[in-house]
A and B are shown apart, each in its own frame.
Chain A
Amino acid sequence: MCSKSLLKYYSLLFLLIPTYSFSAAEQESSTEREPSTLDQESSTDQEQNYTEMSLQQLMSLEIFTAASLLPTELKKAPGTVYSFNRQDFKRLGVRRLNELLGFVPGFQLNQYRKRHRSVWARGMIDRYNNKMKLIVDGVPIEHVYYGHFSAGENLALEKIGKVEVIIGPASSLYGANAFAGVISVTTREFIGQGSNADEAVVETGIELGNHSRAKGTVFYNSEKIQGFLSYLDQDAPFDEDRESFIGTSVSQPLDEQYKNLYLKAEPIKGLQLSFDYQYSETPFVFFPENAPHKTRDNTEERFYNLSARYEAGNLEQGKIETIAYYVDDQAKEIYKHGQDEVAYKENRDSRYYGIKATWLKTLFVKHTMAFGGQWQHDEAKDMDYVKNWNHNTGYYNPPVAGSLLSGENVENDDYAIFFQDVWEINTELTATLGARYDVFDQFDNDSNYRIALVYTPTVQQTIKMLWGTAVRKPTYREYLKVLENTSFVADTPKTEKMETFELGYGYQWENANINVTAFYNEFDDYLHEIPTPDGNDEYFVNSNSTWRIHGVEVLSEYQLISDVHLRATVGWLTARESGNGDIPYLAEWTASLLSDYRWHSSHHLVFSLMYNDDRRDTNDQSFSQDEADAFTTLNVHAYGKIFENISYQVGVKNLTDEKVFDTAADFDDRYNTQRTERELWGKITYTYRF
């Protein structure tokens, strides 16, 4: 209780601080503006001689921070957009994308019983990450069967330059399934493109931590070629006998490893080719600790992504942007017993490929138009399973074989056309109008719209209004899942739809800013998983009634003094299903608070707190063991440079080793799941410049 109330108090205190700052800044306004700080990531030390630097090197220095942390473009972007660059990764002490998403106001992370964490944006719950869309360099990333993306160790942050999170319905811009929003990841730029220096570099990193964590990375960057290699071996950071959805302690092997090879090249100006190979081996299943036979399990996945992007022209004369991609995803869930005998094996092999072309042009001076089309083909290649043995019943004789999906040669071809106009009505007011028409292979066609107004009456203030719609088509698992151990036959679900209204206000002080967004979402046919009537399996169903979620999100950043930077987020929401009361499993309040203190010119010390309110199962009052209590975790980390070419990061995640549980979130009677425990880690990065 104390940690909860304290956090609320500190958040309140923090949000009031900028007001004080503004008054103080006004009193000093007769002189030139107060400066921001010089960023140590880009600069070397205070005594360096800038006059010896080339213009390109000077341009790569990050000399403005604090008050401009919400970049200008984002401030004026239609809708709610949060952006994080490599410096933010360090500042926030994150090593995985899902950790980063914990700092986005309104996001809730929920540990699923398998390895991944689900990301719930604005209360859109699901056990898998399929209400949002992950895009890496323009390529949609998903596991076709679940429609799910992993945002953990598989996506190494070392190769990523920027992450933009667009919250709210983005179907008119990014297509179906950009429902709760879009996470747009951009890999690092080539040397000489904007922020980088003018020399080729090799960056090597070694990270060690508890849970037997060992990670090595090598990143090469030049003007035309980029390469990245990483290897991670660790125990999944769980308690060995953690409590899980089955209600007791579990026996679970924790070994896991991840490999990544990434290549990017720009053979001619405007054409970018990339190849990404990811391999992972992770634990996935739980057995009761007292199971009669011990087993070993893992999910093994090979993921290949090949893409080509081409851009030419400019907005005045017309600009074309195209991307073509091919993704092959081979996943296997296997558990073994005895002498490596396969007890169960499940394949989830799929592939998808597509092309998207956008033509942009400034017309009539004040309109920037975008027209485009998109096609994507996806198919399930192999979704078969075989059962030889079960830890309760022993051997199957004969083995049981089948498919995860009810159809054969399952494939989809979806098409879309879209249009957008950014209309600068005057210097203060910009309107964005967007529309998109999707033709789905298996579902009804759909249109989506988006209208946004961005008003900047003064340099300090931004007011945004947005109305939009979004659609999400069911994933393969949602409409083709083969139910087991039941005679129940589920109806085929429909697409789910939402409509949103959003109002945002941003104010920029000299050393602080605050952004407040209020939203109201209405969902029809919300797709969620519920147990079959006999309780033997789970299936997917559209909600009969309208779901309504509204809430407020606040992000504030404040440069307390030149070397202390504070960042706070608060999210509040309430979610109701008309006629049926509150929607379960959601935290009403979430918050984070971070303080980055530069105690020496090249060294930072950072504290962060993450708060999550309790999550109740309002769906079933008779079963409360899938409810999770509120928690606050404290993280501490430090980062900086030891020498010109050697930087370091050390940290402790969940310093007090708070025992955190997350809900089963399955609308059933499964127990909640214990989250990762305390993590200690350290990383050294060496940069060699040619």
Chain B
Amino acid sequence: MNILNRNYLDCFNFISKRQLATCLVMSLFFVILSFFLMSDVYAFQKNRVNEQLKVKAAFVLNLARFIEWPEETTGEEKEDVVLCFYQYNFLKESINSILDKKINNKPIKIKVIKELKLKGRCDVVLIPESAISLFVNYNDFDDLQKKITITDLSHGDVEYKSNQSHEYFLENKIIFRLTREKSRLRFEVNKTASERLGVIIGSELLKLGILVKDQESHSKRVYP
């Protein structure tokens, strides 16, 4: 408080009008900041969260659209494409933004599943980052066949996450993972996983995504 008082006293002892104006503008500036800190702007912040999640939902929609779907998904007897969230819906209400869209001319349906018995239930499996360790322990590859597996690692440091979770990615259970590059969303493609799970990835995704073998080199930066 002493520092504060002394500085304000300095302000009033000014001789120069310009310096006084500087102090007043600075003070006003921080008063405005404080006001916004205390005011009810958090509601707006929540909207911004949704915007980010909506982009991720649109990403998921695009990933699903550029897959060459197996016949059991596209056949007439199949009524819809089912997106299963393992453990919980990490896209929250933003997933609603894609529910009126179609994948392969089929409407989209959402499920939250707590157990990994996927056959006949899910076409796309969305695994939140916190549930990856559970998912890794699931070794029924027959059950995973023809399922598109996607996880989201874009919250934090992409390189760190890549290193930490490299093992499970290479275990070929997860085909796509959302990552971030600086301020933008990216996705990585595990082609070996797609082959193992019998999912054919469209050329558009292979062109735009970071192939898992390239991922390591992508994350390194050198200054020759």
Contacts and interface: CB of A to CB of B under 8 A. Distances in A.
A55 B51 contact: no
A459 B156 contact: yes
Interface string A55-75: 110111111110010011101
Contacts of B157: 68, 72, 75, 459, 508
Given A38-B55, A50-B58, A72-B182, A562 B44 contact: yes
B66 A55 contact: yes
Interface stretch (B29-37, B76-84, B116-124, B134-142): B29-37
B19 interface: yes
Interface string A596-629: 0100000000010100000000000000000000
Contacts of B48: 35, 37-38, 562-563
Contact of A61 (B57, B155, B181, B185): B185
A73 to B, nearest CB: 4
A10 interface: yes
Interface stretch (B67-75, B192-200, B216-224): B216-224
B115 interface: no
Nearest to A66: B183
A595 B29 CA distance: 9
Contact of A597 (B26, B36, B158): B36
Interface string B204-224: 110010000110110111111
Given A68-B182, A561-B45, A316 B213 contact: yes
Interface stretch (A1-9, A271-279, A386-394, A467-475): A1-9
Contact of B19 (A3, A72, A560): A3
B186 A59 contact: yes
A316 B213 CA distance: 9
Contact-residue bracket for chain A: 35 or more
Nearest to B158: A72
B91 to A, nearest CB: 10
Contacts of A53: 58
A260 interface: no
A360 B184 contact: no
B148 to A, nearest CB: 15
B184 A195 contact: yes
Contact-residue bracket for chain B: 35 or more
Interface string B96-110: 011001000000000
Nearest to A36: B52
A51 B97 contact: yes
A9 B14 contact: no
A64 B156 CA distance: 10
Contact of A420 (B53, B63, B97, B224): B224
A362 B184 contact: no
A444 B201 CA distance: 58
A46 B47 contact: yes
Interface in A631-650: 632, 634
B223 A58 contact: no
A456 B55 contact: no
Contact of B184 (A9, A64, A609): A64
A566 B160 CA distance: 26
A2 B10 contact: yes
B52 A35 contact: yes
A32 interface: yes
Contact of A63 (B52, B66, B164): B52
A422 B58 contact: no
A657 B22 CA distance: 10
Nearest to A450: B223
A85 B182 CA distance: 11
Given A62-B184, A420-B223, A6 B52 contact: no
Interface string B144-165: 0000000000111111100110
Contacts of B180: 64, 68
8 contacts: A9-B4, A33-B156, A36-B52, A38-B51, A38-B55, A58-B62, A368-B220, A459-B160
CB-CB nearest 7 A-B residue pairs? A562-B45, A2-B10, A50-B58, A315-B217, A370-B224, A35-B49, A358-B224
Interface of B: 3-4, 6-7, 10-11, 13-14, 18-19, 21-23, 25-26, 29-30, 32-33, 36-37, 41-42, 44-45, 47-49, 51-55, 57-59, 61-63, 66, 90, 97-98, 101, 154-160, 163-164, 180-186, 204-205, 208, 213-214, 216-217, 219-224
Given A10-B26, A37-B48, A51-B101, 18 more contacts: A2-B23, A5-B10, A6-B23, A6-B26, A9-B4, A35-B45, A50-B57, A51-B57, A61-B55, A62-B184, A72-B159, A76-B159, A420-B224, A427-B163, A561-B36, A561-B41, A561-B42, A563-B44
